[in-house]
Amino acid sequence: MPEESTQQKSLQEEKKSKSTKKGLFNSSPLIKWAGIVVIVLVISYFMVEKVLTPMFLSPKSEKPKPPPVDIKKKIGPIYNFEPIIVNLNEEGARRYLKVSLSLELSNTKVIKEIDLLKPRLLDSLITLLSSKSLKDIEDVKGKENLRREIVFKFNRQLNTGRVVNVYFGEFMIQ
């Protein structure tokens, strides 16, 4: 029996030594897994924060933004005409058209030429407008056609540049 008591003592001492030597890897499985989960979460956070986020949000991966548009380069010089009132080409001349328009020009040199030719340009504009009937100009397509005709007529008379576009500021039929 003395041998059994010695064996029991040695087993008890082993249990004590195991209980005092418990570390992270010798502890209960629940604590082990909780520790592993915490470590994985911390590593995942730093991977996302420091590696993945800068990789996806870096300026290199974004679509390049177009350079800011310089309006002066996009639209040429503008020449404004005073409002013009003409009778439409209809029986009894009961309807009239009031139009104010602006010309977009190819360069600034054309402004001087338009000032010189203004009486001739106004005459051709009045002739063109008064030749139109209500049906010719009442819809969008008619206005677009009128715009093209004005550009064509004016460009035939200009030498130093050209009219790029015509903008209607006022277009009233009564």
Residue 64 belongs to a domain: no
For residues 48 and 81, state if they share a domain: no
Judged against a pLDDT cut of 60, whether residue 107 lies above it is answered with yes
Judged against a pLDDT cut of 80, whether residue 16 lies above it is answered with no
Looking at residue 52, what is its pLDDT? 72
Task: Indicate the burial class of 158 (C-beta count within 10 angstroms; 0-12, 13-18, 19 or more).
Answer: middle
Residue 10 belongs to a domain: yes
Q: Into how many domains does the chain fold?
A: 2
Q: For 86-114, b where at least 16 C-beta lie within 10 A, e where not — what string?
A: bebeeeeeeeebebbbebbbeeeebbebb
In sign, the C-alpha dihedral spanning 17, 22, 25, 27 is: positive
Residue 115 belongs to a domain: yes
Domain span at residue 121 reads 71-173
Looking at residue 31, what is its pLDDT? 83
Measure the CA–CA gap between 150 and 137, rounded to whole angstroms: 13
In sign, the C-alpha dihedral spanning 132, 133, 138, 141 is: negative
Beta strands 163-173 and 96-105 are: antiparallel
* Residue 28 pLDDT grade (very low, low, confident, very high; cuts 50, 70, 90): confident
Judged against a pLDDT cut of 70, whether residue 19 lies above it is answered with no
For residues 37 and 97, state if they share a domain: no
For residues 101 and 43, state if they share a domain: no
Looking at residue 58, what is its pLDDT? 57
* Residue 152 pLDDT grade (very low, low, confident, very high; cuts 50, 70, 90): very high
Measure the CA–CA gap between 53 and 128, rounded to whole angstroms: 64
